[in-house]
Chain A
Amino acid sequence: MHVKMPQLGETVIEGTILKWLKAEGDQVALDEPLFEISTDKVDTEVPSSAAGVLTKILVPEGSTVAVGTELAEIAEAGVVAAAATPGESSPGSSVRPGAGAGDEPPAPSSAAPVAISVPAGTAASTPTGVPVDRGSRSQILSPLVRKLAAEHGVDLANVVGTGTGGRITKNDILAFVGRAPTAAAAAPSAAPVLTAPAPAATTPGAVPAASIAAGVGEEVVAMSHIRQAIAKHMYGSVQSTARAWTMVEVNVEQLVQLRARAKDAFLAKYGVNLTYLPFVVRATVDALHEFPNVNARLDGENIVLHRYVNMGIAVSYDAGLIVPVIKGADGMNSVGLARAIADLAARARAHQLKPDEVQGATFTITNPGPYGSIASVPIINTPNTGIISLDAITRRAVVIGDAIAIRSMVNISMSWDHRVIDGELATRFLARVKENLETWDFGGDLGV
C-alpha cells in the first residue's frame, strides 16, 4: 500500500518529514510509529496503517510536501511475518552474512524496541479444563498446607498441586487464593481447575505471572512501552540462549594510577571525563578480534562472524535501559572511545539518540560498577553471543609472590551463549581481556 502525507487539520496543506523511524527493508507492524512529521509548531509521530515490509521511501527527511503526497510503499504481509525478527527467532529468514568491515550489519537491533517473538513455554503445564492426574502422593499434605487451606476455606479437590508427584504446596494454595475470583468468574460451571494464563494473552511484558489484584499498600503502575520492550527483550534472551557465566579478577592498579595522573589533562584537552570504560572497551575489542566466535551471532544453523566490532554500551536513563552502539569501535583509540561513550551516553539520557544508533551491536558491555556491585550476571543482548560486565574497582588485599599487597582490583565477567561459545573459549577470551588491561601501557593512547 502507499503511505501518504496525512492531513492534520482542515487548513493544513503541507507537512515536513522530520524523521523516518524505519528504513527500507524494515518490518513494520500495524500502528507502529513509521515516521515523524512537522507542521507549524506541532510535531507528530505517524503510525503505520498497514503491516508488512517498508519497501520504498519516496520522500527523504527534511522535505516539505503537500498533504496526500505519496511518501513510501509498504508491501503488506501476513501477520506472522510482521512479528518475526530476522536472525533471532525466525530460522528461515535470510540474513546476508559476511558484511565487510565498516558495513552496516544486516541484523536489526536487539536493543531497539522491536517486536521479539517469545516462545510460549510455560502455558503447557495445565491445559484449561483438562482434569489432571494428581498421582498417588497428591493427597499427602503438609500441616501448613492444611492450615492454609482451612484458613482460606479452600476445597483441596479444586487445587492442582505442582509439587513432587502432584502434591499441593503452600504456593499452590496461595496462588489459588489469589486467583480464585478470576477463575470462578471465567468458568463458573466448569471444574475450577487452576490454569496458568498463556503468556501471549497477558501483558506485553511476557512474564507469565498470574494476575493478582493489588491490595492495600500496593500501587499499580502501567509499564511504559520502553519498559515493555525491555521486558520482552530480556525474557526473550533468557528463553532463547544457553547462558553460561565466567568471571576473571583483574589487577587494575596501573590503570587507576594512570587515570589519577591523566584525568585533569584529559578533560582539559578533550572535553570529556576519563573513565575506565574506554580502556575496557579497547582491551575487549582486541580480544574480540583474536577470538571472532565471541563477536558473532547465531543465524539458524550458521554462525555469522563479524569482521568489525560495533560495541553496545548499556546506559541507564529515566525511561529504563538503552544500548547505544559505538559503530566501528575497532577503529578507535582510547580517546575516540571515551568521546564516543560520553556522547552516546549524554544523548541517550537526553532522549536524543537516532534509531540507527541503538542498532547493530556485535557485542555488549554493561557497567554497573559505579553503583557498587562487585559481580553481576548480565543477560545476553541477543543476537550477540556475549556480554561483559565491568563491576566496581575496589582496593583489596592480594597475594603477589609471597607478599600480601593492597591493589586496585576489579571483577570482569561475561555471560555467554553456550550454543556458540564453549567454556575454554570464554575463559581464554576473558584471560586476554585481563592480560590486555594488566599489561598494556594505555598512557601513550591518551596523548596527555
Chain B
Amino acid sequence: MSRAGRLIRPDGPVDYDAANAAMHGLAEARLAGTVEDSLILLEHPPVFTAGRRWKPDHIVWTQDRIRAAGAELRFIDRGGSLTFHGPGQLIGYPVLDLGSTPDALRFVRNLEEVLIRSAAEIGIDLHRSDVQTGVWSGERKVAAIGVRLMRMRVSLHGFALNCTTDLSWYDAIVPCGLAEEGVTSLSELAGREVSVQQMAPIVARRFEEVFDLRLQTQEREWPTHPASTVAASAS
C-alpha cells in the first residue's frame, strides 16, 4: 500500500529565491510532521546555482556577464558544485522524510532511476555513470542531481532534467565542476521537441512508482511566500 503524498506543480516559471524559501519552509513542516511527503515540479527563470562544493574556476563568465545575459547567480546549501536552471528544464524538488536512518546514496540512485524510467517511456535510453551522480547519455549529462538533508532526515533540492533547455547557458560554467563531460537535453537526443509539459506527468508517475507514493495534486497556489508575488510582478 503506497503512502499518500502531494504533487506541487506551479504554472509557469517560479523565481528561484521564492521557490527555495518555500521549499525550505515545506521541509521544516515535513520535519515537524504537519505535512506529508511532497514532490515539487517546476521551471525556473535563468539562474546559476552554486552548491557547497563550488570553486571559483567553475564559473567561466563574470557575474556581470551572467547578469547582463538575464540570469542570476545564487549560492545555496545543496551538495555538488555549479549548475544551471532555466526555461525548458524540468526541476524536481522532492521534500521527503527519509526516516531516522536515511540512506542518502540510495535516495540519489532512486532519483536517477525515476529519470531513467521516464526517458525510457519516450524511447530515450539513459544511464548512470560509475563515478558521477546524474543521468547521462554517453558522455553527456541530461539531468543533474544535488540534494541536502535537513537535520539528517528530510530531503531538499533534487534534480534538473534538460528537456528543451538552451544548452548555450552551460558555456557560462563548468557544470558540476566536470571539465571534460558535456551536457545535452532530451529534445537534442530525440531529434524532436520533448517539452517540460510533456515530461512532468511522466516524471510524476515514475516518481510515484519508484518511491511508492500516491501523489495528490495540490490545487492551492504555490509558493505563497510574498517574495513570489514580487518576483512575478518584476519579471
Contacts and interface: CB of A to CB of B under 8 A. Distances in A.
A binds B: yes
Interface stretch (A4-12, A115-123, A306-314, A404-412): A4-12
Contacts of B151: 31, 33, 45, 47
A222 B26 CA distance: 10
Contact of B148 (A11, A40, A44): A44
Nearest to A319: B21
Interface in B92-117: 101-108
A45 B152 contact: yes
Contacts of B101: 7
B150 interface: yes
Contacts of A43: 51-52, 77-79, 147-149
A62 B53 CA distance: 10
A352 interface: yes
The CB with the most chain B CB atoms within 10 A, among A11, A33, A41, A224, is that of A41
Contacts of B32: 222
Given A42-B149, A222-B29, A11 B52 contact: no
Given A38-B52, A40-B133, A10 B103 contact: yes
B214 to A, nearest CB: 24
Interface in B130-170: 133-134, 145-152
B227 A44 contact: no
Given A9-B103, A39-B105, A41-B147, A46 B75 contact: no
Contacts of A36: 52
Interface in B19-57: 21, 24-25, 28-29, 32, 34, 51-53
Interface in B65-108: 74-80, 101-108
A31 B78 CA distance: 20
Contact of B152 (A12, A47, A351): A47
B149 A224 contact: no
Contacts of A224: 24-25, 28
B225 interface: yes
A104 to B, nearest CB: 24
The CB with the most chain A CB atoms within 10 A, among B28, B79, B106, is that of B79
Nearest to A228: B28
B125 interface: no
Contacts of A216: none
A42 B104 contact: yes
B52 A18 contact: yes
B188 interface: no
A318 interface: yes
A218 to B, nearest CB: 14
Contacts of A47: 151-152
Given A222-B28, A224-B25, A318-B227, A40 B152 contact: no
A225 interface: yes
A350 interface: yes
Contacts of A18: 52
Given A319-B21, A351-B76, A44 B149 contact: yes
The CB with the most chain B CB atoms within 10 A, among A8, A31, A44, is that of A44
Interface string A7-50: 11111100000100000000000010100101111111111000
Q: Is the interface of B mostly helix, strand, loop or mixed?
A: mixed
Nearest to B101: A7
Contacts of B148: 42-45
A44 B134 CA distance: 18
Interface string A113-154: 000000000000000000000000000000000000000000
A39 B28 contact: no
A46 B78 contact: no
Contacts of B17: 318
Contacts of A6: 152
A9 B104 contact: yes
Contacts of B75: 347, 350-352
Contacts of A225: 28
Nearest to B26: A222
A221 B35 CA distance: 12
A41 B108 contact: yes
A11 B24 CA distance: 28
Contacts of B18: 318
Given A42-B79, A44-B149, A45-B151, A9 B106 contact: yes
B152 A42 contact: no
The CB with the most chain B CB atoms within 10 A, among A9, A10, A11, is that of A9
B93 to A, nearest CB: 14
A351 B77 contact: yes
Contacts of B145: 41
B112 to A, nearest CB: 10
Contact of A350 (B74, B146, B152): B74
A31 B145 CA distance: 27
B79 A38 contact: yes
Given A47-B151, A351-B77, A39 B103 contact: no
B147 A42 contact: yes
B119 to A, nearest CB: 19
Contacts of B53: 38
Interface in A207-241: 219, 221-222, 224-225
Contacts of B24: 224, 319
Contacts of A38: 52-53, 79
Given A10-B106, A43-B51, A43-B52, 4 more contacts: A41-B79, A41-B147, A318-B18, A350-B74
